[in-house]
Amino acid sequence: MTTKLSDTQRAILEAAADHPKRLAAPPPKLPPAPRASIRKSLLEAGLIEEAPAKGAEATAGWLVDGSAAFYRVTKAGLEAIGRTPPAKEKAPKAPKPPKEPKPPRVTKGAQVIEMLRSPDGGTAATIGAATGWLPHTIRAFVSQLPKQGFKVTTEKLGKGAGSTTIWRIAAEGGAA
């Protein structure tokens, strides 16, 4: 099918064919009325198609209803000006190098559980120093361990406000 093109239409398609992103832009001195008519006729003939505005250049925009619109030349548009569409060659993808396995993630909770499994156990002071947690966070974490299947034992050293609690996880209890 041969498409009859005006000089302006041909110039727009030629410029789009040379554009790196194949964007069709109206000539800068073309008045708005013929510009809209030419855009409409190129669209209806399937010689241009809408292009995403992402990465488009402001100079390649058409003003449509007060906002910028972008169009690219189609395969039919290239054929209408006697150009062959570029063959899409897919270069073979290089195989990705195997990823190194990530070391297991050591969470603060896992650190505390490991500390409580040791024979010395842990106090609020030692757990806080290791994790940066405040005493209320430590107590809340330790209070949840039995719900996770751990058998937690406590030993209180001293009496009153100056006392220290040592928590331990019993060897026979517990989730992994």
Q: What percent of the chain has pLDDT over 70?
A: 86
What is the arithmetic mean of pLDDT over 150-172? Answer: 88
pLDDT score of 41 more than 70: yes
pLDDT one-digit tens code per residue, 89-100: 566 777 888 888
> So what's the pLDDT on residue 121?
93
CA–centroid distance for 48 within its chain: 31
Residue pair 71/48 in contact (Cβ under 8 Å)? The answer is: yes
> So what's the pLDDT on residue 58?
54
Domains of the chain: 7-80 (no CATH), 108-169 (1.10.10.10)
> So what's the pLDDT on residue 174?
47
Residue pair 59/25 in contact (Cβ under 8 Å)? The answer is: yes
> So what's the pLDDT on residue 176?
44
